[in-house]
Amino acid sequence: MPSASSSQYALLTGCVIALLLAVVTGCTAGYRQRADALAEAVGASASWVSSGKHRHRVYEKAGTGPVLRVYLGGDGRAFLQRQVVAPDPTPAEHLTLKLMLADPGPAVFVARPCYYGTATEPGCEPRLWTSERYSDEVVASLAQVIHRLAAEHAGMPLQLVGYSGGGVIAVRLAQHLPEAVAVITLAAPLDTGAWTAHHGYTPLAPGQNPAGMASWPGTIRQLHLSGASDDNVPPELQAGYRRRMQSLDPSAVFRTLPDYDHHCCWLRNWPEILARHGAEGDTRNGLTRSRQAPRIAPVAAL
């Protein structure tokens, strides 16, 4: 029989977790409202777009440029504590949304399924923001939404910009989008196996690690930026992905930025980063290619 003290401890722990869940559930509604306010402040639109299985929050702004940049956010608040899954993974800071809003060109932010207040909708389960956060289901749902957005922009070529875990999704997603011409990642754990091992996290479900990809379309250029001071995703954790790209895409560009970490200073310097690293489609910096190379399976084959 458990002791009184252990029973009291268990009860107290349960109460604390219940309180945390209640607080977070209330906060996440505010997180989406804050995102809506950020978009509204600069004249960007907010809408819901369905993939058929999931609803996605979409923020879009006008601009002048030859490509449409599609922004994909990080993992947000997947866990409240190491072993306590968050009831809603919506991020509190909206860094990727802010990057999109600071982009001088036409741009759109597409949230992952089950984020921005949809975690309790049919089809959403915690696995989609924990062990299967980069899974085929997530990729396929995003691809359907982005296909629709691309059609609304008269077939403009797409550049995918992924921050942190959004970079993993961008790399996995790009090869299923015929409109994609480039992928740009920021502070992304492109070898997810090395990343989970580094932090002592539970390994993700199989089939999600970009470092294990079997092919890469010759039409899509890659630029991967890391922060030299990033403790969450140290640049050396990309080594497995870099080795894979030596055979699949030797022209993939990897750069480490001094004084940057996982959060600083991407937003402050974002327009400058776009200009300096050729993200406007400058062929000298390797972000556009001829679109004649064969592509791999479309999203329907996922």
Q: Tell me what pLDDT residue 281 has.
A: 43
Average pLDDT over residues 123-143: 98
Residue 32: Cβ within 10 Å count:
19
pLDDT for position 274: 92
What does the pLDDT average to over 173-194? 97
Percent of the chain's residues with pLDDT above 70: 82
The model's pLDDT over 151-175, given as tens digits with 9 standing for 90+, comes to 999 879 999 999 999 999 999 999 9
Task: Check the CA dihedral 273-276-278-282 and report its sign.
Answer: positive
**Strand-pair category, 253-257 with 221-227:** parallel
Distance CA 5, CA 27 (A): 33
Count CB-CB contacts under 10 A for residue 201: 12
**Beta pairing partners, 184:** 161, 223
At 276, is the pLDDT very low, low, confident or very high (cuts 50, 70, 90)?
A: confident
**Exposed/middle/buried for 62, CB within 10 Å: 0-12, 13-18, 19+?**
exposed
pLDDT at 150 over 50: yes
pLDDT at 83: 85
Whether the pLDDT of residue 28 is over 80: the answer is: no
Confidence of residue 88 (pLDDT cuts 50, 70, 90): very high
Residue ranges per structural domain of the chain: 4-301
Do 73 and 100 touch, CB atoms closer than 8 A?
no
* Cα–Cα distance measured from residue 115 to residue 89, given in angstroms and rounded to the nearest whole number: 6
The identity of residue 188, as a single letter, is: A
Q: Please choose, from the candidates 123, 120, 131, 132, the residue with its C-alpha nearest in 3D space to the C-alpha of residue 90.
A: 120
Q: What is the pTM of this model?
A: 0.86
Nearest to 146 by CA among 161, 135, 133: 161
Contact in structure between 220 and 175 (CB atoms under 8 Å): yes
pLDDT at 27: 54
Beta strands in 156-283 (DSSP E): 158-163, 180-186, 221-227, 253-257
Superfamily for 4-301?
A: Alpha/Beta hydrolase fold, catalytic domain (3.40.50.1820)
Q: What is the pLDDT of residue 288?
A: 47
Cα–Cα distance measured from residue 172 to residue 222, given in angstroms and rounded to the nearest whole number: 12
Chain mean pLDDT for the chain: 87
Average pLDDT value for residue range 101-108: 96
Res 6 pLDDT > 80: no
